[in-house]
Amino acid sequence: MAARPSIATDLADLKTAAAACTRCPLYKNATQVVVGEGPVPASLVLVGEQPGDKEDLAGRPFVGPAGTILDRALEQAGIERESVYLTNAVKHFKNEPRGKRRLHKRPNQYEVSRCRWWLDMELALAQPRYIVALGATAAWALTGAHTKIGEKHGQHLSFGGTAGTVTMHPSAILRMKDSVTRERAFDELVTDLAGARRAAAQ
């Protein structure tokens, strides 16, 4: 069993400790750990599922196709990316090699629960006023319960005593085949983010 890392006192300490993480098997097939980025503390924190292929290679969250969607949504919601702390529920890219490609695989509950250790430290450092869970995996990581995004998105919830909401993950919008459906989902994401911005400012 890996040694329990000391509590990080700042983001640099957390990144150093997380780089040696072997708390679950995902580190074996990932290029590197991908910890969140942004101001600490931060009034608004966004939590996604896990790094994708681009994030795994770059070592930064939300720099791939889903990140492009998120950047557009943040801009339309009146939020500067640099003003929020962006992270994921799971810090290593879970993938299945398929030829030269690495296909995304959703992390399971064990992997999410093992990585909650790092998410808790990030939230302790960020001290957010408001948290946005991007997708069902992030919502489960924050609540320990399954959440139907379509029913709960935009509603004010509590994540361990911190106010927050759930909304669709940008990657889900990318997977929609119909352009009308994609545009509607994107507009809902913008609306939810704008509501989070207002809540975090209160």
55 near 30, Cβ under 8 Å? no
pLDDT of residue 6: 53
Q: What is the pTM of this model?
A: 0.94
Query: Along the chain (202 residues), what's the average pLDDT of each consecutive run of 10 residues?
Result: 57 93 94 97 98 96 97 98 98 91 92 95 96 96 89 90 96 94 96 97 92
Q: Other C-beta atoms within 10 Å of 112: how many? A: 21
In degrees, rounded to 5, the angle at the alpha carbon of residue 66 between the alpha carbons of residues 64 and 69 is 115
pLDDT of residue 150: 86
Looking at domain 11-201, what is its CATH homologous superfamily?
A: Uracil-DNA glycosylase-like domain (3.40.470.10)
pLDDT of residue 3: 40
Name the residue ranges covered by the structural domains of the chain. 11-201
Residue-by-residue DSSP string for the chain? -PPPPPPPSSHHHHHHHHTT--SSGGGGG-SS----BS-SS-SEEEEES---HHHHHHTSSS-SHHHHHHHHHHHHTT--GGGSEEEESSSS--EEEETTEEEE----HHHHHHHHHHHHHHHHHH--SEEEEESHHHHHHHHSS---HHHHTT--EEETTEEEEEE--HHHHHH---HHHHHHHHHHHHHHHHHHHHHHH-
